[in-house]
Amino acid sequence: MIDFELLPTEKSTVELAHEIAQNLFRPISRYYDEHEHEDPWDLFDTMWNLRLKGSLTAVGIGAALMVQELCWGDAGLYSAIPTPGLGGAAVRAAGTPEQRRHFLARFTNGKPKWGAMAMTEPGCGSDTAAIQATAVRDGDYWVLNGEKIFVTMGHRALDLSDGFIVVWATVDKAAGRAGIKSFVVEAGTPGMKVEKLEKKLGIKASDTATVVFENCRIPLNNILGKAEIKTKAEGFKGAMATFDITRPVIAAQALGVARAALDLLKEELDKKGIEIRYDLAHNRQTALEHDFMEMESNWRAAHLLMLRAMWQLQGRTPNALEASMAKAKAGRAATLITQKAVELMGPLGYSRKLLFEKFMRDAKINDIFEGTGQINMLIVARRVLGFTRDQLK
């Protein structure tokens, strides 16, 4: 039986997340949107010292709802707060128990720190099997070479803290997908550098970096999973399992932004004395009422898909199909909802006086990173129809 009920402790933490979003994130939301690459250290220190930090490293419905609440406040600031992040998700998905303890223990003490994951390359985006970065064994070390782009929190993980980055690289190009492995590279490792920071459309409070590896030597046991190459690409599938954790979280991020737009739209309509009359028949509703209800129904559908994917994850039930469904639906829903909110508010929605245009910019990335909407729809189709990757591209 599916059960989305939260424990009392989870409920209180979700409520705390909303208070943080409202009182800490929202007041500085516009400032850090307009001052890209500035570091809100007061916020970092506060979030690092809160008990909420430990909850954000967990997986489950409670954690997803906390993410949703924080992104209701500001998606960029949520992405920027110190946590293991995508790198931590990769360690949890593909690492051994010893690796999880070793690499994630640093996030329980000391100064604020971040984790990051490096997958995308100048010539490789959604097709992760085309990765060109290499990892060559040299005695008791792996030697990494290559360039990674669009690395979320790469700068803060490597330059501002003693965090780490999980790098996807091939140990044998001839082996194709089977040769793709993931490696943990700790901050301060020689041969690794952050080359530049991107200027983005939205979520500007988070950093997005280009990271270059030149003969970067890491210990042999920093590979996540086994080094052996299997014909069925078990290693690659292990790395891809990271997305079963992260895609529902991205869905929660998208839903937080979309909810923020819906709530602000309802607030502005109330100010103008415009009521959404839910009890009227469809043919008696105004166009605005119809649009608002459609936005809400889109949100609710995406929300249920996200809850389902997270429920399976916390119950250790395979959720690859549901994770992709949740991510694809939420990314598209958030894009449509925030665009419609801007449209319904007219010039006020397009201006910078209110946050509508920012919500629209922050929402779009959820339909792009962690696998584009198109890629996730392909994954869903393959799994539903029983096709292989080669049969349906």
Q: Catalytic positions, please?
A: 370
**Phi, psi (deg, nearest 5) at residue 335:** -60, -50
| 76 within 8 A of 30, measured Cβ to Cβ | no
CB-count burial class (<10 Å; 0-12, 13-18, 19+) for 175:
middle
Cβ neighbours of 98 (radius 10 Å): 9
Which of 235, 302, 313, 227 is closest to 262 using CA atoms? 302
Cβ neighbours of 228 (radius 10 Å): 10
Q: Which residue has the tokens 């189709």?
A: 381
| CA–CA dist 282, 44 (Å, integer) | 48
Residue 152: alpha-carbon gap to chain centroid: 9
Cβ neighbours of 153 (radius 10 Å): 27
Sign of CA dihedral 7, 12, 15, 17: negative
